[in-house]
Each structure stands twice: as structure tokens, then as C-alpha cells.
Amino acid sequence: MSQSGKIFRARNVPVATLRRLRVIPSYFFLIWRWGMWLYAFIVIVFSQPSYIDTPGTNYHTMAALLLTITFIETLIVTLYAPVLQIVFPRLLSRASRQRKKQGRREHLHEQLEDGAEILPPFVQTRNHYWNIAIYSMDVVICGLVMYFSGPFSNPPFGLGSPFYRYGMSTVFAAASAFSYKGGLLAALGYNLFALLGMFVHAPGAVPYTPNAVDVVGSLVDTPILAVLVAYLSNLLENYAHSKRQERENARTQAALVHIGETLLKSTGDRQELLQRSIKPIQHGRFDRLTIALVDLLHDEDVPIGPRAQQSKTIICTESTISTDALPDDSENLIQKVLHNKQKLLTFDPLKNEQSGIARLYVPLHIDGHVQLVLGAESLRMTPFKPQHEKFLTIAGTQLLVALENIRLAEQTVQLAADAERGRIARDIHDGIAQLTYMLSLQAETCEAQAQRIIEASEEDAELIAPLAERLGKMVTISKQALWETRNYMFSLKPLMSGSTTLTQMLDNQLREFQAISDLPTHLTVEGSDQDYEEQRLHSRRYAQIGTTFFRIVQEALTNAYKHAQATRLEVCLRYHADHIEVDICDNGRGMPTRLNGTPDIKESYLAVEEPHILSGHGMGGMRERAAELGGQFNVLTTPAGGTTIRVSIPL
């Protein structure tokens, strides 16, 4: 047994103790009713010689009839009492026992969680008015029995009836079920039959003049009984509720300790963490538990689409019941909670059953965004209660803390990797990049000197020409080496770190490209990122958008230099309310077109013969980068020549 179970076992109140507290009023009611029926039976049997039949009344027949009616009534009340399974379990048929066993199995959570409620003496239905009608009918029957049995003794009403104490049990039952109001109303109704017997004597009654003792004795007992029973029932209910709360707190603390132990043993994998923590949360409380994690590595400012939203949600489910008995609609309910950002509490009654399907889905937020959803489903008699929501909230908060620790650990690793890449980029810049740049300058100087010698001396031109050609290739290769080196530097170091904006990043990129390629470049900016919210500018998605634009512009510039034979490049950056758009335009030869008029990108690559600076993954890579963020990628050509690459990515 785990340490948590040892800690909280002493504080756990046994379920049997709560069950005994719940059924105390019912026990007393049944004992009272059967005892008073037996008392009436003894009184009638042993007082039989004193009864004198009258022309209108046969006391023997009346006594037998009243005893039979009260016996049948008491037997029916007993057989349909909620405590029948405890008092007379063997009176049930096998089918009834199986149904009750099935009901106990289906409503195990109900018995554990609603154990503080006092069981009513009579059968209890879902309809409150039916319950009132049942208790009212019992008051009427007991009152009529008392009224017609009044002539058996003196006085011929109320206290003189052998069934007077038997009928008082109906006041006991009403006070137990409906507290003070119900008990006093039942006492009033019962006393009305006593007053009826006082002023309108029952058949067979002898003339009698009421006195104060008989009147007070017949009317004061039932109100006092109603008040006492209601008071004691409230005390029992409050005591049982406190014990129930103590036991529930102990179970909750033990469960939370178990969950905490599970989280401490967790690894850095989110999926594994959810799988290991779902059982301790679900065990003994819910028939099915679903945990949905919205991936914290993705930004949730604006959903990209249904498929992207689904791909960023990790769902784990643990169930102890089949889908036939408890249909699984958790995915749709989770999507509804993610959309509304509010808890979902429903209860669907089952046909021809007393139970229903209770569902509770609780969202947990971080910075206003839903990051975790815990969904509980069970077959119950009633909907889930606030303590269930509280438990799921506490357990979910612990789980969120563990997930946040995983994210911080990953972020620490990422920051360390970024720092190391930054160091390597600085070393490349201060070392090999500078040497390559000097080599490129020296090669260009030598090539220019060789060209001047060729132009100055025709005799040396034949000897110097091969050298000039090799020097030209060396210049191209050195520029390619410098280009690749600086590409590595940009790939290693963060692109939008600190206060660097997207506009500044692209401007620096164009300056770098112009310095290497000697192609004039120009950046045009429409709008400003200052119109966006501060939270959006520092979000992870905005950083991803900046990185994607940098890589696409880098590839487009390189392809233009490599294939287009352009003499000028234009980049236009447009900030819109819901998206950002970038155009990369050149004045080169354009692209060959297919028969349908679309650009033939592959053919344009194959047409290149001259050695140029090599590049990366081409148009396919740029299109994939844009699609990853839900953006659009288009290649446009004009009849006058030139190519425009247009990329649009939603915020």
C-alpha cells in the first residue's frame, strides 16, 4: 500500500457508519408502526368481551377490517421502504436482488458521495408531488382508521382509539421526510380526524361529553412529536453530513497525494504524463475520465483551422465501463468547451431507468487561453456536484504545474542550445567569415589586375587569359563560400531576438544580400507592426511568422540571383489587420510557361548554364514553409518579364 493510503486511513470514516446514520429514522418508523399495530391488535383481542354490538355496527367485523387494512398498509410501506435491502433482504426475489445489485454497481459513486442524506421512511420518487401525495394518503388512511376505531373505547375519538399511537407514526414519517413543515402539516391533518370524531361520532359510538383532558391529550401529542422528530432528523443529517465531508476530504487528500506522487515520477514526455496521471484521478470517482491537452508549444491567438486545431490537442481517456452503457462523445464535447472556454455540466436521463448520464467538463486556463480540459462522465442518479468540479480543478492544476515544468525544462534546453548556436555564429563571423571575405577581396583584386594586363599588352594576353578565367571562377567560388558561411550564421543565431522587429530583420537581410551579390535591393513597408497588440508581438506564433518570412525571402533572393539574371530586386512588406504579406519581385527573364499559362518552375531551373551561387530547397520548400502556418504561396509572372513571389500568412 502506498504511503498516502497509510496517512489518510485513520481519518477515513467507514461507509457502514454513514449508512447506519442514514437509516436511523427509517428504523424507528418501522419499529414504531409494527409495534403500535401489535399493540392495537392486543388491545382489540383482549378487550373483545367488553365490545357490545349495536344494530348499526358489528364491532368484531369492524375490528377485523381495521386490523386487516392497517396490516396490509404496514406491509406495503415496509416492502417499499428504502431500507428494505437492509431490514428484509431475503424477501426480495432473485430478479429483484439482481436489479438492486446492478443498481448498486452502477451507482457506486452515488452511494459514496450522497451518503449524508437521510433516507425517507416511505418510497421516494423523482416527482416531488408524488412524494407529497404518498405521505398525504398515509395521513388520510391513519386518520380514518383512528376515526372508525374510536367507539372501541372511551373517549370515542383520538386518544381512546387503539390505533391512535399507530396513526402517530404517519406524523413521524412526514417529519423525517419534510422536516418541520411537513411534520406539522401531517399533525394538523391527523388532528382534524380527531376533531371529527369529537364532534361527529363514528358509527357505534356511545353518547359522550368531551372534557379538557381528553381534548388536549388527543391534540397535543402529534405536534410535539413532529417537532421532536424533525429536530432529531436535522441533527442526524448534519452529523452525517459532517462525517461524510470528513471522509470525502480524506479521500480527496489521499487521491491528490497519489496524483502528486505520480507526477513526481513523470518523465519529460507529455503523452506519458497524461497516461500515468489519468488513472489516479479517475479511480473510484468517475466511470470515464478524459484529459485533453492543448499543446503548449503552439500559440493559440487565432486558430488556423479544424485540422490544425485537432493536431495540437492531445487526448487521453480512461474508462471502466463499455461504450454501449456509456456512449463516448468526448471529442465533440472537448471542442465545444475549447470554443466556449466555459465548463460543461449536463445530465441526460436514461429511458426506463432511474439513473442518467452525468457529464462534467472543466477547462483550465493560462493567460486567458484554455490549455487543459478534464472531462468526467458517470452513470448517476443526479448531476455532478460542486465537489466534483473542485476535485477536477485541483487535480488539473497539479497536472498543469507538471506540464509547465516540462515546458520550462524544454525551454531551458532550447535557450542553452540557442546560446551555443549564438556562440558558434560569433566564432564563424569573427573567424572563417572574415577570412573568406578577405579571400574574396583578394581574388577580385587579382582578377581585376589580370584584366588590366590583358588590356594593356596583347603579347601577354594569351598567357594571362587562362589565369584571369581561373581567377574569375575563384571569385565566384569565394563569394559562394562567403554566402554559405553567412547563411550558416543566420541559421544558427536567433532571427528576432530582443527588440528586433520583422521590418528590421528583413532590412538587415537585404543589406547582407546586396553586399554579397552586388545586386541592388530595396525594401518597401506598408503599414506597421506597432498597430498590433503587445501580447501578439511577443507571442510564439509571431516569432514563427518572422522566421518563415526570413527563410522564404532568403530562398527567393538566392533563386533570383541564381536563375533570373535580374539586375534589381524589390521586397514589399505589408502589415494587415489579420495577416502579413510579403512580395519578392525581380526584373529578370521570368519563367517559362506551360500550355495552361502557369509558370514552369522546374524548366526555369534547368535552363541555367552559368555558374552562380548555389541555394537551398527551392520553390517546394518555400511553399511548405508557408503551408505549415496556414499561409498562401503564389508565383506570379508578367508579360514584360520578371517574377513575383507572394507569401501571405495569417496572424
442-452: pLDDT as tens digits = 888 888 888 88
* 328 shares a domain with 460: no
Angle of helix 164-199 relative to helix 15-46, nearest 10 degrees, comes to 50
> E strand or H helix at 394, and its extent?
helix 386-428
Question: Count of domains in the chain?
Answer: 4
Among the candidates 198, 213, 244, a domain finishes at: 244
Residue 93 has pLDDT above 50, yes or no: no
* 312 shares a domain with 233: no
Cα–Cα distance for residue pair 553/616, rounded to 1 Å: 12
Task: Tell me which of 470 and 531 has the higher pLDDT.
Answer: 470
Angle of helix 128-148 relative to helix 164-199, nearest 10 degrees, comes to 70
pLDDT at 117: 62
* 365 shares a domain with 278: yes
Query: What CATH number did the domain enclosing 352 receive?
Result: 3.30.450.40
* 171 shares a domain with 227: yes
What's the mean pLDDT in 410-431? Answer: 81
* 512 shares a domain with 437: no
* 305 within a domain of the structure (yes/no): yes
Lowest model confidence (mean pLDDT) among 15-29, 354-368, 372-386, 443-457: 15-29
Highest-confidence segment of 328-342, 516-530, 553-567: 328-342
* 518 shares a domain with 486: no
| Nearest residue to 582 via CA among 508, 513, 649, 529 | 649
What's the mean pLDDT in 81-104? Answer: 50
Residue 413 has pLDDT above 50, yes or no: yes
Assess contact for 476 and 448: CB atoms under 8 A. no
* 541 shares a domain with 521: yes
Query: What CATH number did the domain enclosing 556 receive?
Result: 3.30.565.10
pLDDT band of 494, cuts 50, 70, 90: low
Assess contact for 577 and 536: CB atoms under 8 A. no
pLDDT at 266: 67
Residue 610 has pLDDT above 70, yes or no: no
Cα–Cα distance for residue pair 195/535, rounded to 1 Å: 79
Q: Which domain holds residue 473?
A: 410-493
pLDDT tens digits for range 115-142 = 446 677 777 776 788 888 889 999 999 9
Among the candidates 212, 244, 276, a domain finishes at: 244
* 398 within a domain of the structure (yes/no): no
Handedness of CA 522, 526, 530, 534 (dihedral sign): negative
What's the mean pLDDT in 526-534? Answer: 78
| Nearest residue to 315 via CA among 337, 339, 295 | 295
* 516 shares a domain with 488: no
* 395 within a domain of the structure (yes/no): no
Count of other CB atoms within 10 angstroms of residue 139? 22
Calculate the average pLDDT of the chain.
77
pLDDT at 301: 41
What's the mean pLDDT in 548-573? Answer: 84
* 396 within a domain of the structure (yes/no): no
Lowest model confidence (mean pLDDT) among 169-178, 434-443, 493-502: 493-502
pLDDT at 438: 84
Pairing of strands 643-650, 369-380: unpaired
pLDDT band of 114, cuts 50, 70, 90: very low
pLDDT at 583: 92
* 542 shares a domain with 584: yes
Cα–Cα distance for residue pair 306/160, rounded to 1 Å: 80
* 49 shares a domain with 70: yes
What is residue 557's DSSP assignment?
H
Torsion over CA of 496, 500, 504 and 510, rounded to 10 degrees? -40
Among the candidates 366, 384, 402, a domain finishes at: 384
| Nearest residue to 145 via CA among 234, 221, 33, 244 | 33
* 252 within a domain of the structure (yes/no): no
Task: Tell me which of 73 and 20 has the higher pLDDT.
Answer: 73
Amino acid identity for residue 521 in this structure:
T
Cα–Cα distance for residue pair 443/446, rounded to 1 Å: 5
Residue 8 has pLDDT above 60, yes or no: no
Assess contact for 293 and 371: CB atoms under 8 A. yes
What's the mean pLDDT in 565-578? Answer: 87
Phi-psi region at 179: left, alpha or beta (left = phi > 0; alpha = psi -120 to 50): left
Amino acid identity for residue 13 in this structure:
V
Grid coordinates of 251 = 479521500
Q: Can you spell out the DSSP letters for 172-222?
A: HHHHHHHHHHHHHHHHHHHHHHHHHHHHSPPTTPPP----HHHHHHHHSHH
Pairing of strands 569-575, 521-526: parallel
* 22 within a domain of the structure (yes/no): yes
* 321 within a domain of the structure (yes/no): yes
Lowest model confidence (mean pLDDT) among 159-168, 196-205, 565-574: 196-205
* 158 shares a domain with 50: yes
* 315 within a domain of the structure (yes/no): yes
* 420 shares a domain with 380: no
pLDDT tens digits for range 180-215 = 999 999 999 999 999 998 888 888 777 777 788 888
Residue 528 has pLDDT above 60, yes or no: yes
